[in-house]
Amino acid sequence: MSILIDTKTRVVVQGMTGKMGQKVTKEMLAEGTVVSCGVTPGKGGQEVEGLPVFDSVAEAKAHDAKLNTSVILVPPLLVMDAAMEAMDAGLELVVIITENVPIKDAARIVAYAAKTDCRVIGPSSTGLIAPGKGKIGPIGSAKEKDMYSPGTIGVISKSGGMCAETSRLLTKEGLGQSTVVGVGGDVIAGTTFADLLPLFEADPETEAIVLFAEIGGAYEEIAAELIKAKIKKPVVAFVSGTFAEKMGKGLALGHAGAIVEEGFGTAKDKKKALKDAGVLVADYHHDIPALVKQALKR
């Protein structure tokens, strides 16, 4: 098994006719993902990779009644309408790859998702992958040497690049991944660490969970509370950004959500919260595989 993506996943690509949409469509098909069709308003009737393009998600849903997932690759100011259109069509999962989505739009998307019982990953997500089964978005490939590999370790990261790098470290040590999810690093996230942890906990294929965390916000602290109360599987974490505490105030670093004010959201505080919850926290990113092996032995 895996989380969020399986053999029943059927994807519509919103923005399929764009350069990035075409690229990601080709990549997902190569990975074994069932991509059903695409949507670009005004370009209905075209084809990409032999797949039909429609003017609306409603038309796409009429074409394929089993459609359940959307990946959004449209310009930032069009994301909110695209996401709401997908939710109105009854899709269960919406993965937003687009960066620079206005905060107010992201807030409205998250609120609407709660009303429609839809899970939103992103904005600024790199996507997700279940190695050997399929992927959604431009997260990378299990076919690339030493990157993703099938296994039993769940990985969650705010950073798209660190989804790949963390998985590469694990793969080199013989630790394959069940599912890797890039949640994005924006101020408002459709899905957080705490939202995904119960899914990995319930997944019989996942034996341990790795978190790649960052400074800013409170998502890690909230996850720590959940881990302490409900998560039985071992969790390993790395918190990036320790060096930022030595830098001057007002310096912009990393993702939009990496905001530290008056000591709140520091790496030190996040590490303490996670350690207090029983998480094995790596001092250095490359220490993660050794800690995972240690956790599995327990």
Catalytic residue list? 255
Q: Is 7 exposed, middle or buried (0-12, 13-18, 19+ CB in 10 A)?
A: exposed
Q: Tell how strand 51-54 and strand 47-48 pair up.
A: antiparallel
Q: Report how far residue 150's alpha carbon sits from residue 56's, in angstroms, rounded to the nearest whole number.
A: 35
- The span from the CA of 39 to the CA of 130, in Å, is 24
DSSP 292: H
Q: Are 26 and 47 in contact (CB under 8 A)?
A: no
Amino acid at 14: Q
> How would you label 143-177 residue by residue, b for 16+ Cβ within 10 Å and e otherwise?
eeeebbbebbbbbbbbbbebbbbbbbbbbeeebbb
Neighbouring C-beta atoms of residue 55, cutoff 10 Å: 14
Token couple for 231: 């998560």
Bridge pairing between strands 127-130 and 134-136: antiparallel
